[in-house]
Amino acid sequence: MATRIVQQVLYLEVANRLRALIQAGELAAGEWIDEVRLTQEMGISRTPLREALKVLVSEGLVRLEPRRGCFVNELSGRDLDDIFPLMAMLEGRCAYEAARKATDADLQQLEPLHDRLRQFAAGGQVDQYYAANAVIHEAIQALADNRWLSDLIDGLRQVLSLSRHKSLALPGRVAQSCAEHLAIFAAIKARDPEAADTLTRAHLMRQLDALHVLAKDDALAQDPLPSGTVMQGGVSEAATQNTGE
């Protein structure tokens, strides 16, 4: 019995380590997971690693492909469009409940978190901003004090960690995100549940908008010319037609 408990703790620790590597981007979206390398680096056998990978598969962070192995999951545009509205609804409800339930002491604890967020935004410190942003989301979730709501959010948050940080790469998004957070906090301090809910939903959906813009920019960068465009003397035929020449 003691051996089985130790083994269970080990694979959970391995799952935590792998989760952190994925969220830090050290295991990138779409990357094949080299089990041999990881067992050597972590000093473990294949058994706890494979048990840990099963945990991450159930969370949606990893996918198993027959005869190919495990890969870090990638979220498609369809996935993001399906998940973000749900996350917006759930986190909006957290903000609603937080505005109803927060005490003066709770608000005092939130104040320095938002101060740090503002400082990181002003300094362009994206990684630190992302970490502070996550702490604020979790703090508001805790104030909502609804374990059923928290369980749903935690599950979706794990999956969204595959792409959520990327939205901050859009020029101006960090400053916009910070302004949105400060508006949400103002609504909570004003004990205005409806406004806190509405502002939080908008905040989440603007993250989705930013991801779509970035995806479009990436697609244009990879294929800048329209399909079927023929280059003539260094100028595209499509460009010539568009200028009427």
What confidence tens digit (pLDDT) does each residue in 185-203 have?
999 999 999 999 999 999 9
Residue 28 near residue 72 (C-beta atoms within 8 A): yes
- Chain centre to alpha carbon of residue 39: 27
Higher-confidence residue of 158 and 85: namely 85
Q: Quote the CA–CA distance of 32 and 244 in Å, as a whole number.
A: 49
- pLDDT score, position 24: 78
Range with the poorest average pLDDT among 69-73, 186-190, 197-201, 226-230: 226-230
Single-letter amino acid, residue 218: D
**Selection from 142, 163, 151 nearest residue 82 by Cα:** 163
- pLDDT score, position 164: 60
Tokens 């979220």 belong to residue:
75
Q: Which domains does the chain have, with CATH numbers?
A: 2-72 (1.10.10.10), 77-222 (1.20.120.530)
pLDDT at 20 over 70: yes
Q: Is the pTM of this model over 0.85?
A: no
Which tokens hold the place of 85?
């509205």
